[in-house]
Chains A and B, each alone.
Chain A
Amino acid sequence: MSRNVLERVLWQLSVERAAKERFREEPRKFLGRFALSPEEVDMVVDFDVAALQRLGVSPMLTMGFWQELSPSRDMRLYKERLGATDNEYAGFSAALKG
């Protein structure tokens, strides 16, 4: 089941320093170790957190992955990627920027 593999990958990328370094250096080579489809590899490399959550991946992992490894680490952008369209929770997002 894809969710299990994706959660394994994201958990390692959230907690294991060596995995983070390998992902930063060569993400697709790192992900080649796992039984992921090409589409799933793209989701991870592209930080497509919405697609990952649609496959059932835990939001705790997508958030941790984003905060650890995404280029901006901006929680406002994270929520935009998840489809949040209002500014109701802007205070929270601003507080956690970066």
Chain B
Amino acid sequence: MGKIVGGFWMPHDPVMFVAPEAPPQAQRDKVWGAYQDCARRLAELEPTSVIVVGCDHYILFGTHCLPRYLIGTGDVDGPIDRLPGLNREVVINHEALANHIVAHGEAQGIDWSVARSFTVDHAFSIPHQLVVRPAEQLMGRRLPSIPVYLACGVDPFISFERAADLGRQIRAAVEAFDADERVAIIGSGGISHWVGTAETGRVNEDFDREVLDIGERGDLAALCAYRNEEILERGGNGAMEIRNFACAMAAVPNARGETIAYEAVPAWVTGLGFLQLHPEESVA
């Protein structure tokens, strides 16, 4: 029987790579250090595989096809977007588990869109290359990683309720997996940021800390209670990505959060929050 051993929320901010020296040194150190901390914490969970929940930014999917939710079940590489410091590389997938999640979902009324070959964008690659790959170094073995993409960047957006449904279904599928699998899940995104609007560069720390507080309390209902209009007003169009947080939180049994770091970084256009999701039984 498989198990979800923990999860994380973390950002995937491309501006960190485009303008690495834009914020004050102390902020840079704290944010890069948070990724290192997440890598260490991930390794301590002793996972055997990772699921990264990200979202497209109108790069991977065009007007011809806008999936609400998708899982990569086969060949994976990326990122498709070139960012200095991020390598385009092949990602080792866990095809058996990914296909099991799809088959299990079908029996539960969850019809996954499937990418048998998939080139991810930075939403997957930043957590993967800054956290999963360093955790592999610490553990001395590879961590096959499955990409899940939810429609957070381009409408029609996935509903919070559906994002949480997917998290619960992922957990049930892992628990029904016929292997001693230990899965960590990463919700990649946010928190507040305005992308391509006149407000780009604005950060709303009050909103960000409110979201992190919800994470610490493990209050999935409160997270799912956000309406789009409120998010757009208080967190910006980029904050729609907190749907990825809902999916990850729902996947972790009785999740309780621990904030690892938070920095409001206007120079990197984002409120950057890092949080670990502990299964209830592991909370002291």
Assuming A91-B266, A91-B267, is B15 touching A15 (CB within 8 A)? no
The answer to whether A79 and B198 have CB atoms under 8 Å apart is yes
Chain A residues whose C-beta falls within 8 Å of the C-beta of B64 in the assembled complex: 8
Contact of B197 among A8, A14, A59 (CB under 8 A): A59
B22 → chain A closest CB, angstroms: 4
Q: Number of A interface residues, CB 8 Å?
A: 28
Contact of A91 among B22, B153, B199 (CB under 8 A): B22
A27 at interface by CB-CB < 8 Å: no
B 243-263 contacts with A by CB, 8 A: none
Chain A residues whose C-beta falls within 8 Å of the C-beta of B198 in the assembled complex: 79, 82-84
Q: Which of B45-53, B55-63, B161-169, B216-224 faces chain A?
A: B55-63
Chain B residues whose C-beta falls within 8 Å of the C-beta of A75 in the assembled complex: 200
Assuming A7-B63, A89-B201, is B18 touching A58 (CB within 8 A)? no
Closest to A94 in B: B22
B233 → chain A closest CB, angstroms: 15
Closest to B237 in A: A59
B95 → chain A closest CB, angstroms: 27
A92 → chain B closest CB, angstroms: 4
B 9-36 contacts with A by CB, 8 A: 15, 18-19, 22
Contact of B154 among A15, A58, A82 (CB under 8 A): A58
The answer to whether B202 and A62 have CB atoms under 8 Å apart is no
Chain A residues whose C-beta falls within 8 Å of the C-beta of B153 in the assembled complex: 60
Bound complex: CA A8 to CA B62 (Å): 7
Main secondary structure of the interface of A (DSSP, over half): helix
B242 at interface by CB-CB < 8 Å: no
Bound complex: CA A2 to CA B121 (Å): 27
The answer to whether B22 and A95 have CB atoms under 8 Å apart is yes
B214 at interface by CB-CB < 8 Å: no
Bound complex: CA A4 to CA B268 (Å): 30
B248 → chain A closest CB, angstroms: 23
Chain B residues whose C-beta falls within 8 Å of the C-beta of A95 in the assembled complex: 15, 18-19, 22, 267
B140 at interface by CB-CB < 8 Å: no
The answer to whether A14 and B201 have CB atoms under 8 Å apart is no
Bound complex: CA A14 to CA B80 (Å): 12
Bound complex: CA A49 to CA B199 (Å): 14
B 228-284 contacts with A by CB, 8 A: 237, 266-269
Bound complex: CA A48 to CA B59 (Å): 21
A 42-98 contacts with B by CB, 8 A: 53, 58-64, 75, 79, 82-84, 88-89, 91-96
**Which 5 A-B residue pairs are closest in the complex by CB-CB distance?**
A89-B201, A59-B196, A63-B196, A95-B19, A92-B201
Q: Can you sample 17 A-B contacts with CB below 8 Å? A: A8-B64, A11-B62, A15-B59, A15-B62, A58-B58, A58-B196, A60-B57, A62-B196, A63-B195, A64-B196, A82-B197, A84-B198, A88-B201, A89-B200, A91-B22, A95-B18, A95-B267
Point out residues on A near B: beta carbons under 8 Å: 4, 7-8, 11-12, 14-15, 53, 58-64, 75, 79, 82-84, 88-89, 91-96
Known contacts A60-B57, A62-B196, A92-B200; 16 additional CB pairs below 8 A are A4-B63, A11-B58, A11-B62, A11-B63, A15-B62, A58-B196, A59-B195, A83-B198, A89-B200, A89-B269, A91-B22, A91-B266, A92-B266, A92-B267, A95-B15, A95-B22
